[in-house]
Structure 1
Amino acid sequence: MWPLLLRALLVLVFALILFALVGPLFIDPNPAPEHSPVHVEPSAATFGFITIPVSGTPGLRVHYRDSTDPQRDDLNPLGHRNFLLLHGFTFNLSTWDPMFVFFAKEGRTVAYDQLPYGLSEKPLPAGLKDANPYAKASAIEQLLALMDALEMPQAILVGNSAGGTLALDVARRAPERVSGLILISPWVYANRPTFPAWLVNSPQMKRISLLLGRYLGKNMPLLDLAYANPERISDERRELAADHSWTPGWDLAWGALMNRSLIDAVTVSESLADITQPTLIIAGAEDQIVKMADSARAANTMPNAEFAVLPECGHVPHEECPDLVRAIIADWLRRL
């Protein structure tokens, strides 16, 4: 009897290994068709584009919004500060719509779509020589290159979730460019797995990454999860959150991003005590993505940080509870 059971177990293990090796190769590698917006006209969501120099590329085209618009009297800054707004994982610059005018009245304000999100370029690493635009080092380089191109020598970095991680990485790598940090539910103590490059670069893992990118980009499940009350999400907000799908081939770029993320670990927590810029950390009490305790821990670790908690708000309080966020930031800026 035991030999029969052992043989059956070996057959099952072999079948599972075969499925793991062959199954992903049946995922369609062809790009998804362009999605036509229903609730938002593309022109209404488009601001400006600029090409920035990035190592190993011919330059990358970035979609951004700048408050220095002579056609908008309500965006003429009253203050002297610069603000650079950084969205989170799978989001885009539209996440800052409820906050943009507020920051613009405090000083020059820029929000941009980090690659390959929103309407920014969606390059594929296979088409570039010895460069991956989705590597952590490249994201830092892109941010600083954008600041240079827009003649912004220094700024307060305002980051939500993974945008907060990027802000902290830049403050660590180029502290002279960062005058302060406003971090909303920053993704600091990330506990996600990383894998060796040989495995990540295998055809199977690339197809699985593509499948994950398509799921996250088509259904936008993190948008609902980011709200304490998803009923507050309007149809227009849902459409803007998915504006990357207006570009053919967006899914291939998202797949490349997901694939690269399996290599780069989130290590910024190791250097928090060395980041000395004035910092405000805000957390939603109902955040289901980043634990409020993690945000409090980051604030306690940083030498010059303040911490605030917002009741009945989730992972994106700047969208869900903008009045509360504006009041807290305004008070902090007055004391800065």
Structure 2
Amino acid sequence: MQCETEKATINYEEHGEGRPILLLHGWTMDRRVEIFDYEKIFATRPGWRRIYPDLPGMGRSVAKDSLKSQDDVLDALLAFVDQVLPARFVLAGTSLGAYLARAVAARRRSRIAGLLLRVPCIFAEDARRALPPFQALVADDAFMASLDADDRTNLGDLLIQTPAYAESLKHKRDAVVQPAIQATAPIANEMRADPKRYGFSFDLVEVEKTFEEPTLIIAGRRDTTVGYRDAWSILDSYPRATFVALDRADHGWPMETPNLLPALIDDWLARIALAERRA
């Protein structure tokens, strides 16, 4: 399906019926990555209409010539929300998708029933991020040496250096991550290289105060891409937030502990339902 906006033609996919939940992927990814992580969860939780858009310039969504910055990406997303989603919906974002989700929640506050931020990017500027050093939790030098050169390069630093974990990571990389990267348009990489274009022109930390719907923030203690400390810094802006900092989690989570995400989502959805019954 497609949605035409002033700044982009947004291609999206829907699964299931019921209450709408909008799921936003990370930068240079596409909807296939979110589908890979979430459909196995929502397939056993009926009553949810899952909406997976490709961000402009990623996947099958086309960035128009007028799209130059993250502000423009947000404008396109807000236009998409206004055209495709009903009055109230639930919102989830991963990595840079969480950065965008925070802004969508701020701009469409009355329409958001709940917010999920998974391994969230808090600051678009790399220099502002508080990052932990890499540390393998399960180290196996012999196994790492046994990997061929391509796998060693493509897999990068392995948090858990076991054959099973490496195989799971390789499967996700080959199935959805690499195809998404290859489908990314040059405009997305150009924006990523320019901090002034990659970040919003406004202070997101200021405008997101105070979002009072049930929120779930999941950070990885071993996340060397966006870290976890920055996510803690915005907690006061979300008084109904559950904050989780997972020991066995890097930026690719939930690969390390896949059974935790369904449990956390169940609690989050239950809190949303309770809040709406009380309202």
Tell me the secondary structure at the aligned position of residue 234 of structure 1.
helix
1:111 aligns with 52
Structure ranking higher in helix proportion: 1
My pick for the range that moved more, 139-148 or 177-186, is 139-148
Q: CA deviation at 1:234?
A: 2.6
The separation in 2 between residues aligned to 1:324 and 1:138, in whole angstroms, is 35
1:50 aligns with 2
Aligned 8 A contact 2:116 2:215 in 1: yes
2:90 aligns with 156
Q: CA deviation at 1:108?
A: 0.8
2:41 aligns with 102
Give the partner amino acid of 1:99. Y
Matched, 1:287 2:223: yes
Taking structure 1 as reference, are residues 186 and 227 closer, same or farther at Cα in structure 2, changes over 3 Å only? farther
Q: How does 1:1-336 map to 2 (within 5 A)?
A: 49-55=1-7, 60-68=8-16, 77=17, 80-96=18-34, 97-103=36-42, 105-123=46-64, 128=65, 131=66, 133-192=67-126, 224=155, 228-229=159-160, 231=166, 232-235=168-171, 237-244=173-180, 250-258=184-192, 261-263=195-197, 265-266=199-200, 267-336=203-272
Taking structure 1 as reference, are residues 190 and 262 closer, same or farther at Cα in structure 2, changes over 3 Å only? closer
Question: What's the Cα RMSD here?
Answer: 3.1
Tell me the secondary structure at the aligned position of residue 94 of structure 1.
helix
1:188-227 Cα offsets, whole Å, 9 max, x none, are 1444469xxxxxxxxxxxxxxxxxxxxxxxx9x9985697
The separation in 1 between residues aligned to 2:171 and 2:267, in whole angstroms, is 32
Higher-Rg structure is 1
Q: CA deviation at 1:112?
A: 1.5
Aligned 8 A contact 1:52 1:149 in 2: no
Tell me the secondary structure at the aligned position of residue 234 of structure 2.
helix
Q: CA deviation at 1:145?
A: 2.4
My pick for the range that moved more, 290-299 or 325-334, is 290-299
Taking structure 1 as reference, are residues 142 and 289 closer, same or farther at Cα in structure 2, changes over 3 Å only? same
Aligned 8 A contact 1:227 1:314 in 2: no
The separation in 2 between residues aligned to 1:175 and 1:255, in whole angstroms, is 30
Give the partner amino acid of 2:92. V
The separation in 2 between residues aligned to 1:282 and 1:327, in whole angstroms, is 12
Normalising to structure 2: TM-score of the pair?
0.73
Q: CA deviation at 1:289?
A: 1.6
Taking structure 1 as reference, are residues 145 and 301 closer, same or farther at Cα in structure 2, changes over 3 Å only? closer
The separation in 2 between residues aligned to 1:165 and 1:222, in whole angstroms, is 28
| Count of aligned pairs between the two proteins | 240
The separation in 2 between residues aligned to 1:166 and 1:182, in whole angstroms, is 12
Taking structure 1 as reference, are residues 66 and 334 closer, same or farther at Cα in structure 2, changes over 3 Å only? same
Taking structure 1 as reference, are residues 265 and 335 closer, same or farther at Cα in structure 2, changes over 3 Å only? closer
Q: CA deviation at 1:118?
A: 1.8
Taking structure 1 as reference, are residues 286 and 106 closer, same or farther at Cα in structure 2, changes over 3 Å only? farther
Aligned 8 A contact 1:317 1:325 in 2: no
Unaligned runs of 5+ in 2: 129-149, 273-279
Normalising to structure 1: TM-score of the pair?
0.62
Taking structure 1 as reference, are residues 109 and 251 closer, same or farther at Cα in structure 2, changes over 3 Å only? closer
Tell me the secondary structure at the aligned position of residue 233 of structure 2.
helix
Give the partner amino acid of 1:52. E
The separation in 2 between residues aligned to 1:161 and 1:245, in whole angstroms, is 15
Tell me the secondary structure at the aligned position of residue 176 of structure 2.
helix
